[in-house]
Structure 1
Amino acid sequence: MSSLRVAIAWCASACLFSTQIQAEAVENDPAAELESLRQRLKALEEKVGADALARTHEPAASDSASANRLGRLSFAGDARYRAESIDAGAVDNDRHRVRARFGVEASVTDTMMTAFRLSTGEGDPRSAHLTFSGGYSRRSIGIDLAYLQWAVAPELRVAAGKLPYPNWQPAQSIFIGGDFNPEGWSTSYASQSGWFANAHHFWLQTRLDEADSRQSGLQLGFTSDAKGATRFTVAAAYTDFMRVAGRKPFLDGVNPYGNSLNAAGELQNDFNIAELASEVTFERYPGSLTLFTHVARNAYAGENDIAYATGVTVSPSRWKHWRFGYQYARIEKDALFGQLMDGDFGGGSTDSRGHAFRVAYRPQGRWSSTLSYLRNDVNISSTAPQPFDLIQLDIDFIY
């Protein structure tokens, strides 16, 4: 574990040092930099003309979107390389992983579209990562998204299939795994005044001889004008997991990911989860400052039923491509449905608490990197919680 920690720290330090040198070089000779910009602007005007130059100020995202479009089809993909080191008591695990996704969207009519995406994965609905192992065997590719969407009105959309999780969450929230794409239908409403609502009905397990296990939910929220110096979003949600108590864990029949089991190895509780989430961003801070809070309670459980997370993200103006984040979270044993929770915090289980530190480097382009350190405790409902440490380096590419 020590060698991987040293390598990750060295990479992060090298990136930081090189960025600082470049920034100081510009500051030490502003006249030369200004003259260089003038010469490049003049050459660009001569080459493409004033009208074409005006179009270069459009967002880069629109350029990339048009480059990946073919008629009514648009394509997108991403890839991630991950190196991580896990220290959980007697377990010391250094591993490398990869995730790759590729998808296509098709505009059927002006109001209807369909999407399909393939992804790597090993069966966990919360993560599409593959761990380097298995004697170089062929690895799994599966259906990550496959859904239809109808824009009933400019503010209202209905989707059905295997689709992205519809509820809004703060950017750093760990209550739902980032790769989680449920199966069923959802409805989303977003007004120009800032009010929004999301409703869903998903199928956990379909059965022939008895009632299905399902998940239904509703979220109501408001988001302020995105152009303001201070932006905020607040939302309340209620999710009902039906016919979960008395069933074996759904992923493998064994692992409850922190939730309580009865003597027969079945889930002890249903989950009726009420949530309140908020996020506020201040652009007048020297750079950008974002604060978030996310709280949840399982109304069905009689104890160990509270989850909360709070944190901050800072992007200093001097280092505009860097972001620094911190959060603290406490997820009691039956506060959340553990099989859908983030797969990193506390080893991907409830009954955990602790800190998460992140440093992200996001230059203008199609790649980024994030260094994370999680200092957690697991089995916190017991008399002897165990430590869980995770160091993780992600390098992401989009195309």
Structure 2
Amino acid sequence: MSITADWSPENPILAYLQTLIATKKTLPYGQPVVAHASVNHIDSASLLRLAADIGPYIAILQIPADAIDDWSSDTIEQLQHLSRKHRFLLWEASKILNPLVNFISRADTPLETRQVLVDLIKKSYTSGPLRTATWSNLATCWAPAAPIDQQENDILIPTLRLAAREAVATTAKIIQTEISAETNNYSSSDEVEMVIPYTETSNGWKEFSPNNTGSVLRKSSTISVTTESVIPHAHVHTDDGVPIPPLLARSIALSLPSTTEYAFTSEFRQSTIVAACANSDFVAGFATSEPFFVNHRGNDICDLALFDGTGNPQLDISAAKLATLPYVNGQQKSLGVFSLVPPSLSLGFEFDPTVKPDGITPSESDSETPYTAQYLYHLVGQAVALREKNRQEQEASGPRKQSVGPKLIHLPVVIVV
């Protein structure tokens, strides 16, 4: 079963993930794995070593930047270097941009109050010690909680979209200035990426077009990278047909409210889903702890809105009502579901440096498979087997209903210790 069947995203992050699935042969079982660096990695050296070890086998690295003791611009540059080398995206995952759950777009919140809070959220995205928008492809945010049929009243997501555009424009200008300063030193041996002309998305935001891969003119000599703490992987080549990541592409993932937590209302969950549909050029999808990846139900938005991650039905919304919403009624769109793989599936894992999982092809026969790479293959293999079992049970229970709204791509999130 093809992961990307009938999947045509306009979001550049999802478009790149689609490309990775098709071209990056070292992804465990062909899955676009999201690796979440655990609290064991609290300094730059440890984080960079982890990124070097697992970079060839993942699609996205979630980084707890706020927990890194010596976080700096050098750390960012080294992460971007590894991202380019091993072809994976970066996701700052230690903070949620909008910490105000179910508040920003409530009808009883004065507009002046909302504007002040949104401006503060924008600053936390672009400024401060992390400056997330300047380097991270993805960030996490609670939805604005606008009524499902009044998404046009939201000011949070448009503000974050604008903030991302401004941060990208500033970064591109700095890079072009560096190039101009070194034009006379250019030689044909320098690595150069070419700017791809922008084309607008349906919402008119040039920076987030899938045709803009985020490539920028930047000579490799202008990137200051300290490599002492980075372990190179000789079996990873830059000419393997896998395109470099879109360094200037920005998206957010909305935190999906859990149905098992009393703090969240069903209306907030529905609003989150509709907000993503209404802003699919900038919202890549949903971040959730619910086990959607292993508990397969389907690949359209109905399966997310009508059921929780364990298959329990949601009683406050129907497929008929969902289909009437203008933001949802667009099957040409796509959204990602970034769901946590239960760590319990790693039980029984034993590291064997002589084992070479499919897709790992060391350049030297006596080289060892990294522990983290073997761990990823084991855990994802268990998750894929469970997902396939659940899929077969679902198909045996009866014919599929008619699809409604955007298609979903399920991405497993693995906590790497």
Name the TM tier (shorter chain): under 0.3
Structure with the bigger percentage of helix: 2
Higher relative contact order (CA 8 A, sep 6+): 2
Q: TM-score, normalised by structure 2?
A: 0.27
Structure with the bigger percentage of strand: 1
